[in-house]
Structure 1
Amino acid sequence: MTSSHRRGPRTADVSSAVESAAEVLTALWDRTQQTSRTRVSPSQMQALAIVERHGQINLNGLAAELDAIPSSASRLCDRLQAAGLLTRAASVHNRREVMLALTRDGRALLAEIGRNRHQALARILADMSPDGREALLTGLSEFNDAVRSAGADEPWEQHA
């Protein structure tokens, strides 16, 4: 263990503070999502974000990323399609494969929610001192690096 890991707050204290901040951030995310013109559930929002990240994804790929069974993902997509946020089409490579893509309204909804989140975060960050914002940025950057360095393993899984 390096000396930089021995000094400073105890890991348990930092874990508690991060957990508390994550709960507040999750509530903020939920509130900003509910301010949009089109209401979607958290699972629908997650599905839209996954489709956006991929551009197009097949139903089985979406189900895998949602950690859901394909029939549940299909019902979720039924609701998103009925709301005009998602399209389904047969793959050009395999007609039995269903490909999912966002509609213009789906992209607009994600952009609107993203703007709402950005504005809400900016208001909160403006209340912090410049030193506090700098420390937060440094800490979050190190946190992201630590998560990435975990590689293929999920950092929340216990290792033998």
Structure 2
Amino acid sequence: MVALVSRSLAALDADVTLAQFRALVLLAGHGPQRSTAMARELQVAPSTLTRMCDRLVRKSLVQRFHRGHDRRSIWLALTPAGRDLVGTVMRARRRELERIVVASGLVASPPAVDLLHDFVRAVGELPDEEWWRRWEASADPVDGAPLMGVHRQADGAWA
């Protein structure tokens, strides 16, 4: 699966690492995230996530923002360009998987499909239909309001 994603990213010349793409997929499937929660989910240090997101923000794939009146927490969300990149790569991966299944002669019987859905849920992922519903809304404004940008100031503080 990693090789499929890697080939899809390379074919797009997306200039996104696999770790960065995993962060984009997390945002696409789970919506806006607090940076601390996202670092835990990706099993990286908060400083590593900050550097990763600095690059994704520069590429206009992710946006930082504050939610409501809480100025302490930094939230992360996909931009429309980030959502589109994830969708393009996921569709390419799906086409490649379909090609592999057809070439191997495997038959997608209902019990086999149910087993795969159970496996997907067991590893904490979303079934395909739910994932795509969430992907569709992943770059929508938060709480009905446009995202308020957050950027790093010259002194390193967030504003």
Normalised-by-shorter TM-score class: 0.5 to 0.7
Q: Is 2:118 aligned against 1:142?
A: no
Counterparts of 1:28-107 in structure 2, within 5 Å, are 28-107=4-83
With over 3 angstroms needed to count, the CA separation of the structure-2 counterparts of 1:113 and 1:149, relative to structure 1, is closer
Q: Is 2:124 aligned against 1:122?
A: no
Take 2:107 and 2:92, find their aligned partners in 1: how far apart are those partners? Answer: 20
Q: Is 2:87 aligned against 1:111?
A: yes
Take 2:14 and 2:120, find their aligned partners in 1: how far apart are those partners? Answer: 33
With over 3 angstroms needed to count, the CA separation of the structure-2 counterparts of 1:46 and 1:136, relative to structure 1, is farther
Larger Rg: 1
Q: 1:128: Cα distance to partner?
A: 2.9
Gap regions ≥5 residues in structure 1? 1-24, 152-160
Q: 1:54: Cα distance to partner?
A: 2.0
RCO comparison, higher one (Cα < 8 Å, 6+)? 2
Q: 1:29: Cα distance to partner?
A: 2.4
With over 3 angstroms needed to count, the CA separation of the structure-2 counterparts of 1:86 and 1:125, relative to structure 1, is same
The CA RMSD over aligned residues, in Å, is 2.5
Provide the secondary structure at the position in 2 that maps to 1:95.
Answer: strand
Take 2:56 and 2:29, find their aligned partners in 1: how far apart are those partners? Answer: 16
TM-score (norm. length: structure 2): 0.68
2:134 corresponds to? none
- What are the Cα deviations for residues 33-61 of structure 1, in whole angstroms up to 9, with x where unaligned? 22124221010001111111221101001
Take 2:6 and 2:89, find their aligned partners in 1: how far apart are those partners? Answer: 10
Take 1:101 and 1:112, find their aligned partners in 2: how far apart are those partners? Answer: 18
Take 1:105 and 1:142, find their aligned partners in 2: how far apart are those partners? Answer: 34
Provide the secondary structure at the position in 2 that maps to 1:40.
Answer: coil
TM-score (norm. length: structure 1): 0.67
Counting aligned pairs with the same residue, the percent is 32
Deviates more, 1:113-122 or 1:95-104: 113-122
